[in-house]
Chain A
Amino acid sequence: MTLSVVFAILFYAAALLLIGGLARKIMVYSRTPAPLKIPTTPAPTTKSGVVWRMTKEVTVFQSLFKSNKWIWLFGWVFHVALALVLLRHLRYFQEPVWTVVTLIQPFGKYAAFAMLIGLGGLWARRFLVDRVRYITNLSDHLMLALLVAIGLSGLGIKYLAHTDIVALKTYMLGLLYFDLQPLPSDGFVLLHLSLVIILMVIFPISKLLHVPGLFFMPTRNQVDNPREVRHTAGWTAE
């Protein structure tokens, strides 16, 4: 029961840091002015054009596809697989489970492997491509190590040492409803959960800020209409 309490506290703290940290960053981004029009051309000349441009960037990584097919392949596979895996995990936090979540379960299982392949490819580049090795910081390796470890420990629960998944779900639902339940104390489960907690904590202070950041990039989200609409903000509004 001590373990259940400790993890409950850690989860609540991590959730607060994650949500609070991200909310703060998003607030800072939206309050920071963009004084000049700087979209990278050829840029859309309408708002709906910008929405379409951003949609392509977010879903199929359009610019990255143009820049480097290997990074695109590994990066895109990783992100899509991660999305599937996250959706699949919703079933541990829902009762009843959404139909969509039920439907993707079979794909979600394979997605874990795809995610690891994507991460492996990205990590390999950090050793094999001299230019990418040059720009890599220790934190870049640690981030990949963390994600890989989360994936592997998750697969460990699934394929090596099954846990009492019903009890685990009861614990998670308990966390959501502030009704503490016992946590199954299997090795892979504790490892998996600990690593996820670490990821939640570092998210708002790491390069994972590219997730909210992407939506605020003036080079991508500005409409190319400076002659038609007078734009002022920050020092250009003074």
Chain B
Amino acid sequence: MAADFDTPELFNNIEIIDTPKYEADTMAHSSPYVAKAVHNEKLGFPGELVDNWEQKAVSRLGELVDGSRALRTFLDSCVKCGACTDKCHYYLGTKDPKNMPVARQDLLRSIYRRYYTVSGKYFPKLVGARDMDKSVLDEWYSYFHQCSQCRRCSVFCPYGIDTAEISMAARDIMDTVGKGQKYCNEILGKLQTVGNNLGLPKPALLDTLEGLEEEVEEDTGVAVKYPLDVKGADVLLITPSADFFAEPHIDGLIGYGKVFHQAGISWTLSSYASEAANFSMFIGSGDNLKKVAQRIRDAAEELGVKRIIVGECGHAWRVAYSFWNTLIGPFDFLDPRYPAPQHIVEFTYDLIQRGALNLDKEANDHRRITFHDSCNVARASRMGNIPGGQFILPRALIKASANHFFDMAPETIHENTFCCGGGGGLLTDDLLELRIKGAMPRMQALKQVVDEHNVNSMVAICAICKAQFNKALPAYQFPMDMITSLHQVVGDAIQLGTKD
């Protein structure tokens, strides 16, 4: 468990984020549990730290650089201008200088320089090049698990250098030499054996969904269906498994069902691919990324659906939107009239545009809503047909379903959004201190809209954000249930029974 720590204080004035002076090594003690041999081996990695791991790590780095133009240009081109130094939520929250994006990159860059560049081979001291040794590995294990791969630094870098790619590479190297992280690797193992991150077997899923049907019918008097493994349905919904049981995720799932019900579109979940998340991205593993994605294509073909729609999950949407076509496409077996895949927000937005949903905004009058742009949606994917659609569409859904909406400060939303602090495979209790401190900038911006507009509800469209805010909100003296699924807001506004 995490040691005792102080939650950063929030300020009352509007100056959103104060850039702290750095304090070296404040988070040197923070690192996640190491994966057991069995978890590493399931994913094709050595169980434990291999012999001559130093050479193996260096040669794996070489392979990765040869295979990734991004990594190569990112490692070569940084001029240390400092533009990124105050942009990472973990730096702002922890003051540890190694959480400044450029310094985090340098943990890897120093090794790249030493073994793969002229200057680092002959003048290591001059350019900050280091030999690969145990202290470097320990530092990597600690600080590359203090990056949520949110890409905020990439927005602000004059060249677009993306620390997420560098942290993925470092984690890949660590996995390759047998030093895996427990949380990610264990979850990926469960996904392979049971079909979802949480290890929920089919009977448990069925039970949950039947329970939901009863609950919704009790509340609304309408028999909304939550179908599983229905062959020939039009839509396959792929959603994070947290939607099946966690709060407030499940309220989102209830909302999806109401949308499908009123639109009269047949849909199904899949027990085989009952998980949208693909943690392979967090550990930078291409093989696993493809294997995990392939389940979705297999399920879609098996069920014979015409469309695939992805539920509220940030990195899952990044993988789906940006990588699925590459990894498991082309989707020529689906209905070409719809983008493949489609986000549930795009889907609902289209229905609203076409007047297919009856929404009563007043049903949400008890909510004063702000919206948290989840990092992977905001900075790594898109919705709709226009650049920035991922900012416009979710807000349009909220405004169509509720009367009171207030955005947080502009420097903290859209592509400038602050990560929740729990993304990138860090949503584990052994990193709680990091998570709470990393949430500070988002909490600061939230406090402003709470103070000014009495906001009582923060809507998010990412399963990790929702779970993370469950922990972060109380730490900053906000009510835990402020965090709300977007499709709960939509679902509450839908006038069931008025379109039948």
A contacts, CB < 8 Å to B: 25, 28-29, 32-38, 40-45, 49, 57, 61, 63-64, 66-68, 71, 75, 122, 125, 129-132, 134-140, 142, 202, 205-207, 209-210, 213-214, 216-220, 224, 226-227, 230-232, 234-236
Contact = CB atoms under 8 A, between A and B. Distances in A.
B165 interface: yes
5 contacts: A32-B66, A36-B322, A125-B82, A210-B159, A235-B286
B386 interface: yes
Interface string B72-85: 11101111111111
A236 B73 contact: no
B227 interface: no
Given A64-B158, A230-B330, A205 B388 contact: no
Contacts of A236: 286, 290, 326-327
B283 to A, nearest CB: 15
Interface string B274-305: 00000000000010001000000000000000
B339 interface: yes
Contact of A29 (B69, B83, B415): B69
B267 to A, nearest CB: 20
Contact of B78 (A36, A45, A207, A231): A207
Nearest to A209: B76
Q: What interface size band does chain B fall in?
A: 35 or more
A34 B126 contact: no
Contacts of A131: 19, 22, 82, 85-86, 97, 100
A117 to B, nearest CB: 17
Nearest to B286: A235
Interface stretch (B44-52, B117-125, B181-189, B251-259): B117-125
Interface in B105-132: 106, 117-119, 123, 125-128
B126 to A, nearest CB: 5
B106 to A, nearest CB: 7
Contacts of A40: 151, 154-155, 160, 162, 379-380, 415
Contacts of B126: 137-139, 142
A142 B380 CA distance: 37
Given A64-B158, A226-B325, A219 B67 contact: no
B67 A35 contact: yes
A129 B82 contact: yes
Given A45-B387, A71-B83, A230-B326, A135 B103 contact: yes
A37 B70 CA distance: 10
Which 6 A-B residue pairings sit nearest by Cβ, starting from the closest? A213-B77, A219-B160, A67-B156, A67-B83, A132-B82, A64-B158
Contact of A207 (B80, B155, B329): B80
B69 A135 contact: no
Contact of B128 (A33, A132, A137): A137
A142 B161 CA distance: 23
A217 B70 contact: yes
B21 A67 contact: no
Interface of B: 19, 21-22, 65-70, 72-74, 76-87, 97, 100, 102-103, 106, 117-119, 123, 125-128, 151, 154-162, 165, 286, 290, 321-323, 325-327, 329-330, 339-341, 378-382, 385-388, 390-391, 414-415
Contacts of A49: 387
B77 A209 contact: yes
A135 B106 contact: yes
B202 to A, nearest CB: 30
A71 B83 CA distance: 7
Contacts of A61: 158
A37 B387 contact: no
A209 B159 CA distance: 11
Contact of B158 (A37, A67, A140, A234): A67
A61 B79 CA distance: 14
Contact of A63 (B86, B103, B157, B339): B157
B326 A32 contact: no
B325 A227 contact: yes
B165 to A, nearest CB: 7
Contacts of B326: 35-37, 226, 230-232, 236
Contacts of A134: 22, 97, 100, 103
A40 B159 CA distance: 11
B384 to A, nearest CB: 10
A230 B378 CA distance: 22
Nearest to A136: B80
Contacts of B73: 29, 213, 216-218
Given A33-B67, A217-B77, 9 more contacts: A37-B326, A41-B388, A42-B390, A205-B119, A217-B74, A217-B161, A219-B161, A232-B326, A236-B290
Contacts of B83: 63-64, 67-68, 71
A42 B100 contact: no
Contacts of A129: 82
A33 B69 contact: yes
A219 B117 contact: no
